[in-house]
Structure 1
Amino acid sequence: MVNFRQIDLNLLMTLDVLLSELNVTRAAQRLNLSQPSVSVQLARLREVFSDPLLLPGPRGMQPTTRALELREPLRQALDALESAVSAVRPFDPASASQTWRIVATDYTESAVILPLLGRLRAAAPGTRLAVFELNPPQILRQAEQGEVDLIFHLREGSPASLHQRLLFSERYVLAGRLNHPALKRRPTLAQFCKLEHVVVSPDGGGFSAATDSALANLGLSRQVVLSVPHFLFMLEALRNSELVAVLPERLVRAAAGLTVVEPPVAVAGFDMLMLWHERLHRDPAHRWLRQQIAMSLVADGESKGE
């Protein structure tokens, strides 16, 4: 049996990071230690638990059954210990030096982060902001392992185990280049279906979106001739062609060089949420950041309380 009193807390912290990274080099970087030092600690951990814990594999190191049993209880225990010994102090944004880590798409970069930047730089000039690309299958793991602080995501598909706050409800509009001849007024359904459309397909290569589902319910279809992975390229494509697109209204509110009208078909909008893990829920710094995000959107009158 393992003698708990003989276990160095630093060893347990190293084990936690090793089980997260499954790579000695990356674990050493996170711990600010040399690779040989982490290897020595891993050898000591193997002695303590009488188990190899991590074994070489084709894609990094593979945890043993014992290591998998330890992973979640160890993470919870270290979280509880950190919470117990950390004094809760009021957050002072003027002297703060945090690096905020936020997961967003190019749409939420424009709709949420861009309105936040001025407020954040003025109130907390010593902080930094790192934006990570949204990868929906990974967001729960990223939050649980403390890799990110906040995630902007649609209500659909948001992990139920994360805290959430509704930032706004979005609607769709029809856009094309400035003075587009087909958008001098709201087009009819027939005219709309004859136009050449561009859609955003985050996974790449898709030619169908919510608009196509709405049209299908009416027994209609449109001409989608271009599929792109990002909204930024879509906007440039609209400005420099005869293409049109049905896209989120917030994306084009301040966009130059575009004509915007109501689409002739009703397309269901979506709710944009802000998500975060329980470990950050009461943290003064993160509460402040979440409040700044809500306040940056208050002009729209749509951000809701936690």
Structure 2
Amino acid sequence: MMHIDAVNLGRIDLNLLVHLGALLSERSVTRAAARVGIGQSAMSHNLARLRELFGDELLTRGAEGMRLTPRAVTLLEPVQSMLAQIEALVLREQAFDPATAVRTFRFGLPDSMEVLIMPALLARMRNVAPGIHLRLYNFDASRLLDELDADEMDLAIGYDAFQHGQLHHKRRKLFTESYQCMFNAEKTGITPPISLDDYVRLPHVLTSLRPARNPRGIVDDALEKLGLRRSVALTTPRFLTVPSLVAQAPVIVTIQSRLARRFAAELGLSLSPLPVELREVTVSLLWHASYDHDPAHTWLREQVAQLTSEL
């Protein structure tokens, strides 16, 4: 059993670790002070004490404001995890009551998941947890894991892009999704099912969440195996504009089945099975391990999982 030096540990003001957590997350003395409810001068004094304690500057001034030193970066995850565990120890002794809880949860998700999941989740929150506020952010897969590590995001919902996370990035599979082709039958002059010839002949709308000079999708990979290429008339990162684009132009789009059924019903668009084979995509919920045992966080994750199982 590891021996803890109680004498040396007793010399440390453990409140400093709370302030350290705020400084590492906020990267600002002013914001960190506001987060823990003390004055800016007091937080500056605590930063000086922390620098002496760790023998490192921890935060330094850069062109874009304060930035973490390499030593501070190594402290970020363990400090957040430790504070979350201490908070969980206290909260476990208190029954979580969604009816009286007051808390904000920050979600990162693409607009496709927003339109599929959030209406039902918002309705449930207003009914059973009116003090829960949901704050939604644009989905950026390239920054998502860093945002979770920096405690800038509580939860994320998205596609297979989550597969490269680390052990402290917790993941829960919500559902798998297949694809359909959607188009305006009158504008395109075709009726379902769409043939491979028409699929290649007609211009496509491509949804891509990743900025790239020459964006590609899984459709391009599938066609390439057949020695074929498609023409892309428009590329957009926003799924919600797609039905309006398809409704008014002789174009087609390959889109997730749940969205396709909803959009087609609303705008009278046609749906067709694909003439190429695409693998299903997995939609997952992602969060930081620091919140694994947080009662409110756990409860919200269960609400999301239950609602998505009913889609």
Are the counterparts in 1 of residues 81 and 289 from structure 2 also a CA contact under 8 Å?
no
**Do residues 252 (structure 1) and 260 (structure 2) align?**
yes
**Do residues 202 (structure 1) and 209 (structure 2) align?**
yes
- Partner deviation per Cα, 1:134-162 (whole Å, 9 max, x = no partner): 22233223333433222112234431422
Query: 3-state DSSP class of the match of 1:173?
Result: strand
- Choose which of 67, 74, 87 in structure 2 pairs with 1:82: 87
User: What's the counterpart of residue 130 of structure 1?
Assistant: 135
Tell me the CA shift for residue 168 of structure 1. Answer: 1.0
Residues 186 and 30 of structure 1: is their aligned pair in 2 closer, same or farther, counting only changes over 3 Å? Answer: same
The separation in 2 between residues aligned to 1:281 and 1:110, in whole angstroms, is 26
Query: 3-state DSSP class of the match of 2:99?
Result: helix
Query: 3-state DSSP class of the match of 2:262?
Result: coil
The separation in 2 between residues aligned to 1:199 and 1:66, in whole angstroms, is 43
Are the counterparts in 2 of residues 200 and 230 from structure 1 also a CA contact under 8 Å?
yes
User: What's the counterpart of residue 180 of structure 2?
Assistant: 173
Residues 207 and 195 of structure 1: is their aligned pair in 2 closer, same or farther, counting only changes over 3 Å? Answer: farther
User: What's the counterpart of residue 3 of structure 2?
Assistant: none
- Choose which of 284, 294, 299 in structure 1 pairs with 2:310: 299
Matches within 5 A, 1:134-173: 134-158=139-163, 159-161=165-167, 162-173=169-180
Are the counterparts in 2 of residues 183 and 261 from structure 1 also a CA contact under 8 Å?
no
Tell me the CA shift for residue 70 of structure 1. Answer: 4.5
Matches within 5 A, 1:1-306: 4-49=9-54, 51-64=56-69, 67-68=72-73, 70-158=75-163, 159-161=165-167, 162-177=169-184, 179-204=186-211, 206-255=214-263, 256-257=266-267, 258-300=269-311
- Aligned partner letter, 1:266: E
The separation in 2 between residues aligned to 1:32 and 1:116, in whole angstroms, is 31
Query: Which 10-residue stretch deviates more, 202-211 or 243-252?
Result: 202-211
Tell me the CA shift for residue 181 of structure 1. Answer: 4.1
The separation in 2 between residues aligned to 1:280 and 1:102, in whole angstroms, is 14
The alignment's TM-score, normalised by the length of structure 1, stands at 0.86
- Aligned partner letter, 1:173: Q
The separation in 2 between residues aligned to 1:107 and 1:160, in whole angstroms, is 25
- Partner deviation per Cα, 1:5-60 (whole Å, 9 max, x = no partner): 34333322222222233322332333333433322322333444555443322332
Tell me the CA shift for residue 230 of structure 1. Answer: 1.0
Please list every run of 5 or more consecutive structure 1 residues that lacks an aligned counterpart in the other structure.
301-306
Query: Which 10-residue stretch deviates more, 177-186 or 121-130?
Result: 177-186
How many residue pairs get aligned? The number is: 299
Query: Which 10-residue stretch deviates more, 121-130 or 134-143?
Result: 134-143
Give the % identical residues.
35
Query: Which 10-residue stretch deviates more, 101-110 or 89-98?
Result: 89-98
Are the counterparts in 2 of residues 11 and 41 from structure 1 also a CA contact under 8 Å?
yes
Residues 34 and 182 of structure 1: is their aligned pair in 2 closer, same or farther, counting only changes over 3 Å? Answer: farther
Residues 153 and 44 of structure 1: is their aligned pair in 2 closer, same or farther, counting only changes over 3 Å? Answer: same
